Amino acid sequence: MSDSFAREITRRGFITKVGQGVMAANFAGPLLKGAAAVQVPDPPGKKLGWAIVGLGSLAINQILPAFAKCEKSKVVALVSGHLDKANKLALRYGVDPKNIYNYQNYDTIKDNPEVDIIYIALPNGMHAEYSVRGHQAGKHVLSEKPMANTPAECKQMVDTARKANRKLMVAYRCRYEPYNQEAIRMAQRQELGPMKVILADHGFNIGDPTQWRLNKTLAGGGSLMDIGIYSLQAARYLTGEEPTEINAMMYTTPGDVRFKEVEETINFQLRFPSGILANCTSSYGYSGQNRYRVVTTKGWFELEPATQYSGLRMYVHHDNITEERLLPVRDHFALEMDHLSACVMENKDPLTPGEEGLRDLTIMTGIYEAARSGKTVKL
């Protein structure tokens, strides 16, 4: 239910009460007001059934709890290599034990009519295989970002989805939540004049050296694949353009046990056709950065944090005043899952289809090439 819809109901409820009982309100005003404020939501409409593939921290801490906020999506199946974990989570979220799959019998999900959509929350290097197998099982697929390790894998995923006539969406949750949507709206409407420079910084100090994010085969790369992609996405969705040139500079601390296979820091510059330039950073070695600032001819606007799961803040500067802009706080995962459910129900294309993930992988491949070659990469 949208916020504006919720407000509309509240207003109508209040007006009805006032019309029916002005005299009563004089005596019981406070009580009546309290009653009017508590709205019993309508029963949900049809919800599509989701299977979650990969029960890591993202699934446990973000995706599964988010179903409580969904209007069009419910969790009905779990796919995991760890039966104990799957059983515990099935009990917590009311998933029928018969709908627990492992990676061997995953393909039999095609025979389960309760499952409409599969959410791939596996390590990056496994997205392609499990997306393709999901589509071949006749299901729609939401893949976590980055979509895959390589553009070739992305193409395979897009092709398979097309042949199966099923949806493929990449989980770019920021595109579905109010703060980033407001930034995109301001950028596109040129509310502070034309954009000139975009500054985007994303990274954190990564911990456990044994985690899959530091394994080249499973992660596809280092900070860029996991967190720098937010800087890239921001530059692209704010401009609404595709970059034509890339510069990059990379650094990995020698001897740091975390970075035997993947890069630590990779900073990159992008040129967009309209002349907008972006200066971005991405790191697994610095203390948490999560921000972007769009500098225009007349001011700037900034999100910091910009792309975290929650707690986003927006600042707008113009005419020598900096304002904080407060927006509705929504669950990003619920919004993106309901978006794909709605697309499936209404047979519409998702806002962030497989082709969008492929674009990022192509550009990220260019970023690595620019860093390695010391030359501007032209796309």
Catalytic residues: 145, 230
Question: Cβ atoms within 10 A of the Cβ of 106, count?
Answer: 19
Query: Of 48 and 199, which has the nearer Cβ to its own copies?
Result: 199
The answer to whether 259 contacts its own copies (rule: CB under 8 A) is no
The answer to whether 251 contacts its own copies (rule: CB under 8 A) is yes
Residue pair 355/158 in contact by the 8 Å Cβ criterion:
yes
| Tokens found for residue 91 | 């009990």
The answer to whether 9 contacts its own copies (rule: CB under 8 A) is no
Query: Of 264 and 360, which has the nearer Cβ to its own copies?
Result: 264
Measured at the CA of 63, the angle between CA 60 and CA 64, to 5 degrees, comes to 65
The answer to whether 233 contacts its own copies (rule: CB under 8 A) is no
C-alpha pair distances (Å), 170 with each of 48, 289, 310, 319? 18, 23, 19, 38
> Tokens 């500054």, residue?
199
Q: What is the DSSP letter of 40?
A: P
Site residues (CB under 8 A) for its own copies, limited to 180-199: 192-193, 196-197, 199
The answer to whether 374 contacts its own copies (rule: CB under 8 A) is yes
Closest CA to 21 of 8, 13, 38, 7: 13
> Directed axis angle between helix 151-164 and helix 354-373, to 10°?
170
Site track for its own copies across 273-302, x = CB under 8 A:
--x-x-xxx-x-xxx-x-----xxxxxx--
CB of 357 to its own copies, least distance (A): 25
Total number of residues that touch its own copies (CB under 8 A): 38
C-alpha pair distances (Å), 358 with each of 158, 168, 263? 9, 12, 21
Report d(CA 55, CA 66) in Å as an integer.
Answer: 14
The answer to whether 104 contacts its own copies (rule: CB under 8 A) is no
Query: Of 264 and 336, which has the nearer Cβ to its own copies?
Result: 264
Q: In the set 247, 308, 362, 365, which binds its own copies (CB under 8 A)?
A: 247
CB of 281 to its own copies, least distance (A): 5
The contact set with its own copies (CB under 8 A) reads: 192-193, 196-197, 199, 201, 205, 245, 247-249, 251, 253, 265, 267, 269, 271, 275, 277, 279-281, 283, 285-287, 289, 295-300, 317-318, 374-376
